[in-house]
Structure 1
Amino acid sequence: MPSALPDGEPAPPSGELPEQALAQLGRPGRPFGVYVHVPFCSVRCGYCDFNTYTLTELGVHGASVATYAEAALAELDLAVTVLGDRAPQAETVFFGGGTPTMLAASDLVTVLHGIRKRFGLAPDAEVTTEANPDSVSAESLQELADGGFTRVSLGMQSAVPHVLRTLERTHDPANVARAVAAARGAGLGVSVDLIYGTPGESLADWGTSLEAATALAPDHVSAYALVVEEGTKLAAQVRRGVVPAPEDDDEAAKYELADEVLRAAGFQWYEVSNWARTEADRCRHNEGYWADGDWWGVGPGAHSHVGGVRWWNVKHPNAFAARLAAGQSPAAGRELLTTDQQYDERLLLATRLVDGLDLAELRPEGRAAVAGLVAEGLVDGPSAVAADSTRPRRVVLTLRGRLLADTVVRRLLGL
């Protein structure tokens, strides 16, 4: 089952935000994006705890694939009311899921046009949709490109059939190459997503997936360690001993192999789990999250953030549609981030990036920890100690530091 929503205070039925949050909109260094959550999947993969539903799990009252675009546009109308005239143009738009391409390409384009009409899109806006390789065609991808999409992120996960079976991924591995070729033909940028650490996956299997991914010549690769989430089918299988739990040493070896293979293929890491060919190929939408930007999340269970206020929508698609039909915000709860919370999050996210964190942003306990982290090979020494007028001292993770990023963060927080 999907993971639970966080705790928080009740969100007002109108969706209104505090004035101090709205005042942050559009300020320099605060990019604004729109995330659209499409909660439909053809099947539920055993490892997934995202807020997704198969069509057989849903009724037809406000939650069908055919009516989803209408509900999304209704929330965008609410967003315009809440944010008012200060809402900046959207610099990025990201359709995630679920499988967004279970919707007709025309519906995805309709929602994108709705965003453009209500907020405007920056001239160089990045517009991405996630996709299952089996859920797109040359025709649908061309329709997306013609409608303003610039990028597609394909859920490849693995190139090894037995690994895909364990993950309960249903796509034919051969369709990944077909989808990449079709996306290229439509003029879209291409990212592929991989997962490592699946039970039964050998280091050689992972190497096969990496070689297959780089052979596709995408612009961007994401590689995430499998996490066994409570409440999933995979967690139950691990608990019963049907499959082994992922091992830290195995996942570390696979991460090191990923970095080696991807670097050899011309990719550079820019966030712990993400590699791009050039700076222009980075996922700018995700960079907005990591840079403490603002975004409105549309859809069931979607999270939003504006000026230090974070809120999240009700999870079930029927409840989401019903609230909007009644003229109410679909927000289930929210939190006003404290100064300490914002500091912790800034430190957590910035240290995962290749540009790192300016040492001047650290509190005394963090600055005191840097020398030890350098000595242990977790933080790059030259970046931390060398400085001139154009290059401040920064905390930048080494390869070993990326493997132990959580440890670095705890030390910098004085924990």
Structure 2
Amino acid sequence: MGALPDGDAAPGDGLLPASAASGGADRAFGVYLHVPFCRVRCGYCDFNTYTSTELRGARQDDYADQAIAEIALAGRVLDALAEHDPAVRRPVSTVFVGGGTPTLLPPGDLARMLDAVRETWHLADDAEVTTEANPDSVDAADLRTLASAGFTRVSVGMQSVVPHVLRTLDRTHDPERVPQVVAWARDAGLDASVDLIYGTPGESLADWQRSLDAALSYDVDHLSAYALIVEDGTALARQIRRGEVAPVDDDLHAAMYEAADATLAAAGYDWYEVSNWARGGAVSRHNLSYWHGEDWWGVGPGAHSHVGGVRWWNVKHPAAYAQRLAGGESPALAREVLDDETRRVERVLLETRIRAGLPMDVLDADGVAAVPQLLADGLLDEEAALRGRIAPSLAGRLLADVVVRRLTSST
């Protein structure tokens, strides 16, 4: 698991500087609830997750109460911040429960966590409330309970339908379970999304097309497709280093992305962020809130938060997290206050990944000067540019890092 970034020490009471209240009325507010538990560790995973043998004293069945304690602390912190600007204390627009495998917790625990969010902040009338789920960690009764508690979406970790690809990823679910979970979700009144991974060593273009076709057959309204990134320290990285599996093929990655975009477009799905497609406007509003630099509070070990240009992150291990909360302390480990230029550059980084694009006037002079060549190279959408916005073309999505580097070269 990757190390947390450096930053200034966070105060024990978690209080935020008055500057974080500025402009709160102009930004949506979301909540991310991290559930750091998994039955097994997938070979590619670098997330802050723990199997039962790695908990070292932390208890999975105590976790909901610990998360609720952080939610209560968050309420106190934002109450104090609201003294500077009451608008910062606004209802929650989106909630996303991620992990790990959130549905390893009983659905009643997830419902209690959502109730704590509702009681602390209130939910907007049209709030989007999502949980991730592995296909083998949830059943029809669980999904009915979650829907009754106020959840509106479930995001199913499908990854692939090809057995040898799932084995390489150390995924243990039966791919036949995925359409069943999607059907149960629909029966419970939940929107359903599936997550795919492409570029697994040994996966062919035909394998990937098979997974895309299967996902479309489930009739979901949202689909995410992420390129496999081999992170240092993972089991998969060690296997590649030892020559046990083939390294990632960047050209094949590009071909797989192009296949996904063409297949999904033909089926009526629109891309709205580099790795996300939806039909009928069923975008993930929570994901979009990150790309738009909105405010969110991240609850749980290792969770990151952002409110009004202040970014902070919690201690990583569940035992350390529990210990801080039991002692009445904030679990925040460190934080940074972003200056105006850093926020501008981050906006370029984030909003050039979305179809709506970035307003041209956010660029500095060097960034504006880079636009003609990016257009000539076919990396920007010409129609968007005529409207004064910077959005990637298909080639630009494949080379998103190149686009950002050129637009921010002066920094």
TM class, shorter-length = over 0.9
SS in 1 for 2:167: helix
CA distance in 2, matches of 1:37, 1:380: 36
Name the residue aligned to 2:335.
334
Name the residue aligned to 1:408.
403
SS in 2 for 1:6: coil
CA distance in 2, matches of 1:193, 1:182: 17
Name the residue aligned to 2:142.
140
SS in 1 for 2:43: coil
CA distance in 1, matches of 2:327, 2:318: 14
Name the residue aligned to 1:69.
64
Name the residue aligned to 1:187.
189
> Is the CA contact (8 Å cut-off) linking 2:29 and 2:91 kept in structure 1?
yes
Amino acid at match of 1:162: H
Name the residue aligned to 1:46.
43
* Matching of residue 352 in structure 1 with residue 353 in structure 2: yes
CA distance in 2, matches of 1:95, 1:380: 34
CA distance in 1, matches of 2:317, 2:67: 14
Post-superposition Cα deviations, 1:82-123, rounded to whole Å, max 9, x if no partner, equal 110442110000000000000000000000001000100000
Amino acid at match of 1:408: V
CA distance in 2, matches of 1:95, 1:180: 17
> Is the CA contact (8 Å cut-off) linking 2:33 and 2:300 kept in structure 1?
yes
Q: What pairs with 1:279-294 in structure 2 (closer than 5 Å)?
A: 279=281, 281-294=282-295
* Matching of residue 231 in structure 1 with residue 226 in structure 2: no
SS in 1 for 2:156: strand
Name the residue aligned to 2:30.
33
Amino acid at match of 1:147: A
> Is the CA contact (8 Å cut-off) linking 1:24 and 1:306 kept in structure 2?
no
Consecutive unaligned residues in structure 2, runs of 5 or more: none
Q: What pairs with 1:325-404 in structure 2 (closer than 5 Å)?
A: 325-384=326-385, 386=386, 392-404=387-399
Amino acid at match of 2:342: Q
Name the residue aligned to 1:83.
78
Amino acid at match of 1:7: D
Cα deviation for residue 56 of structure 1 reads 2.1
> Is the CA contact (8 Å cut-off) linking 2:295 and 2:306 kept in structure 1?
yes
Name the residue aligned to 1:302.
303
CA distance in 1, matches of 2:225, 2:408: 27
Cα deviation for residue 134 of structure 1 reads 0.5
CA distance in 1, matches of 2:286, 2:313: 18
TM-score, structure 2 normalization: 0.97
Post-superposition Cα deviations, 1:175-205, rounded to whole Å, max 9, x if no partner, equal 0011001000001001100000000000000
SS in 1 for 2:114: helix
CA distance in 1, matches of 2:311, 2:391: 28
CA distance in 1, matches of 2:245, 2:211: 21
Amino acid at match of 2:10: A
> Is the CA contact (8 Å cut-off) linking 2:357 and 2:384 kept in structure 1?
no
CA distance in 1, matches of 2:104, 2:59: 11
Name the residue aligned to 1:311.
312
Would you say how many aligned residue pairs link Structure 1 and Structure 2? 403
Deviates more, 1:291-300 or 1:334-343: 334-343
Q: CA RMSD in A?
A: 0.9
Name the residue aligned to 1:19.
18
Deviates more, 1:242-251 or 1:322-331: 242-251
Identity of aligned residues (%): 60
TM-score, structure 1 normalization: 0.96
Name the residue aligned to 1:262.
264
